[in-house]
Structure 1
Amino acid sequence: MNTKIITDADGFLSIREDWERLAEQDPDATYYSTFEFNYSWWQTFGGDKNKELFILCHYRDNVMVAIAPLMIRVIDKKIVKCRVLSFLGKGDYFNFIIDSSKFKSSTIIRELMNTVEEHSGRWDKVELTHLRMDTQLLKYLMRHDRYSKHTEYLTSCARINSDDYCSYADFEKEMLSTKLRRKRVKLQDDTGYRFRVVTGSQSEDMYDKIAHIHQLEKKYLNEVKGRHERGSLFEDKNNEHFLKRLFKGNDKILFFYLESEDGEIIIYKCCYLYRNVLYGWNTGYSPKFSHYHGISDVLLMEMVESLFHSSCTKQIDFGAGTYSWKFRWTNRFSVSYSFIMWNESSQQSRLLRLLIQSREIVRAFKGLKNAL
């Protein structure tokens, strides 16, 4: 029984076969757990000098039975630097990847966390976020006498499951209003739209199409609607490199969109497909069709109806965020938590926490002064 720590890209690539095997065996795995997602992300963002791999690989009888896909990122606060141990990548669900067919998950997680603690000289804070409520990792943390107090509610993820209904008609009857259904009819009458689905392996230029639309939407919201806070992730060169690398030839990337009679994309939704679940990732619409209220509702209706005719997809996950519009579509949701633990023995950790507390006191004082 031993745990190996991978800190370089060559070591990362060398465990691909084991990683993919473990992800297939772990019922808690999501698309964000896959090797292709994490390795593509690291290929793009791993060149940052403030990021270092810290992947834990746990072995039993010389066979890898678990991976903790972690990294150490340095946050420079000018006065002090904070070394944060966190998950690789960016997404809505993160987890350790475990084969529990022969050994208890809790025993394996204990060994992984022991390794984290043994290397406390390398981090000032552990920050593990987006831990889904029904995973073995969260259960372990919640039951642990020391770790439980560092585990808190983070967000919720709404999800539609077609198995909850006998047919699309039953779903429509229970969840959709007459007003909502009329939007679909009106848009169809006015635009003659077609509902399309393509994968990353079927369309090499889909990235460029949705990037263009998303940036047009951002410009429209900034200049016409005055929503200057709205940005576009497609304007970031690193994101562009990451997404193009991930999308290329990837049949797990699905683009759902409405297309006008002239072949223009009205609105799109990009999803990751993994184990019959569509993980919603990004949506954008063409400002040309902004006068139609509810085009996003129409696209979702088409997507949900397609679930009932699909053999490979049964669920749509709306991703993290407790927005009311998500819960108008479903009664099903999961809760995610975060685990944040400071290193009590780290001088940098103590200094940073003191600075944070001082800032909070100043803010509270200003708030009290304004109230008076």
Structure 2
Amino acid sequence: MNTKIITDVDGFLAIREDWERLTEQDPDATYYSTFEFNYFWWQTFGSGCDKQLFILCHYRDNMMVAIAPLMIRCIDKKIVKCRVLSFLGKGDYFNFIIDSSKFKASALIRELFHTIEENSEKWDKIELTHLQMNTQLLQYIMRHDRYSKHTQYLTTCNRINSGDFESYEQFEKEMINTKLRRKRVKLRQDTGYRFKIVRASESDDMYEQIANVHQLEKKYLHEVKGRTERGSLFEDKANETFLRELFKGNDRILFFYLESEDSEIIMYKCCYLYRDVLYGWNTGYSPKYSNYHGISDVLLMEMIESLFSGSCAKQIDFGAGTYPWKFRWANHFSVSYSFVMWNECSQQTKLLRLLNQSREIIRAVKELKNAL
């Protein structure tokens, strides 16, 4: 029984087979748990000196049975640097990857945390976010006398599960009102749209197409709507590198879109597919159709109907965010938490807390002066 810490790319690549085996065995795994997602993310965003791999691999009987996909981020606070132990990647669901078929999940997680604590001189703060309710990891943390007090609500994720309805007709009757149905009919009459589903492995130019639509949407929102806060992830060079690598020949990335009669994209939604779940992560629409209200509703109706036809998945996950529109569409939601704990023995932690206290005092003095 031992735990190995992976700190280099060669070691990361060497555990691919074990990683993929464990994600297949772990019922809590999502697409954000997969090797391909984490490896491509690290290849793009992990090259700087501000990040270091810290992947924990736990073994029993010479067999890898658990992985904690972590890294250490160095945040420069000018006077002092803070080393934060966090998950790899960026997404809506994070977790340790556990094979609990032979060993208790809580025992494996305990060993991983034991290794984290043994290496406490390497980090100043643990920041594990997007921990889903009903997962073994969150249950372990919440039951722990010391860890539970450092855990708090973060956000909510909504999901449509087609398995809860006998047919699309039943879903439509219970979840879709007359106004939404009329939107669908009007858009079809006015544009003659076609609903399409394409995998990244089936098209070499879908990335360019959706990137163009998303950037046109951003330009429209800036210039016409005055929403200058809106950006486009396709304009970021690092994101572009990551997405292009991830998309290349990938059967797990799907594009759902409405296409006009002249083969232009009206609106699209891009999703990751894993275990019959579509994880939505990006959407965009053509400004040419901005005068139509409810295009996103029409696309969702088409996507949901496709669930019942058995085309590719059974569920749609809307991801993190407590937006009313998500609750109007979804028939399930789950709560996610964050676990944030400072290393009380770290000198950097003590200095950071002193600096924060000083800032609070200065802020209070300024407020008092302004009040007088």
Shorter-chain-normalised TM-score: which range? Answer: over 0.9
TM-score for the superposition, normalised by structure 1: 0.97
Which residue matches 1:21? Answer: 21
How many percent identity over aligned positions? Answer: 80
The gaps in structure 1 that reach 5 residues or longer are none
Which residue matches 2:113? Answer: 113
Deviations 1:89-128 (A, max 9, x none): 0000000000001100000000000000000000000000
TM-score for the superposition, normalised by structure 2: 0.97
Residue 63 of structure 1 aligns with an amino acid whose one-letter code is M
- Aligned counterparts of 2:246 and 2:34: Cα–Cα separation in 1: 12
Distance 1:86 1:166, change over 3 A: same
Matched, 1:254 2:254: yes
Q: Please give the residue correspondences for 1:238-253 in structure 2 after superposition, counting only pairs within 5 Å.
A: 238-253=238-253
| SS across alignment from 1:255 | strand
- Aligned counterparts of 1:307 and 1:315: Cα–Cα separation in 2: 7
Give how far 1:357 is off.
4.0
Q: Root-mean-square deviation (CA), in Å?
A: 1.4
Q: Please give the residue correspondences for 1:301-340 in structure 2 after superposition, counting only pairs within 5 Å.
A: 301-310=301-310, 312-340=312-340
Give how far 1:311 is off.
5.5
How many residues are aligned here? 372
Matched, 1:101 2:117: no
Distance 1:371 1:29, change over 3 A: farther
| SS across alignment from 1:83 | strand
Deviations 1:250-283 (A, max 9, x none): 0000000000000000000000000000000000
Q: Please give the residue correspondences for 1:195-206 in structure 2 after superposition, counting only pairs within 5 Å.
A: 195-206=195-206
Which residue matches 1:342? Answer: 342
- Aligned counterparts of 2:55 and 2:368: Cα–Cα separation in 1: 46
Distance 1:204 1:357, change over 3 A: farther
Q: Please give the residue correspondences for 1:190-229 in structure 2 after superposition, counting only pairs within 5 Å.
A: 190-229=190-229
Structure 1 window deviating more from structure 2 (354-363 vs 263-272): it is 354-363
Q: Please give the residue correspondences for 1:41-52 in structure 2 after superposition, counting only pairs within 5 Å.
A: 41-52=41-52
Give how far 1:312 is off.
3.7
Contact 2:161/2:331 (CA < 8 Å) preserved in 1? no
Which residue matches 1:89? Answer: 89
Give how far 1:166 is off.
1.0
Give how far 1:159 is off.
0.3
Which residue matches 1:130? Answer: 130
Which residue matches 2:159? Answer: 159
Which residue matches 2:267? Answer: 267
Give how far 1:358 is off.
3.9
| SS across alignment from 2:197 | strand
| SS across alignment from 1:201 | helix
Distance 1:340 1:263, change over 3 A: same
Contact 2:56/2:68 (CA < 8 Å) preserved in 1? yes
Matched, 1:141 2:141: yes
- Aligned counterparts of 1:367 and 1:166: Cα–Cα separation in 2: 60
The gaps in structure 2 that reach 5 residues or longer are none
- Aligned counterparts of 1:288 and 1:54: Cα–Cα separation in 2: 47
Give how far 1:360 is off.
4.6
| SS across alignment from 1:59 | strand
- Aligned counterparts of 2:370 and 2:276: Cα–Cα separation in 1: 53
Which residue matches 2:297? Answer: 297
Which residue matches 1:80? Answer: 80
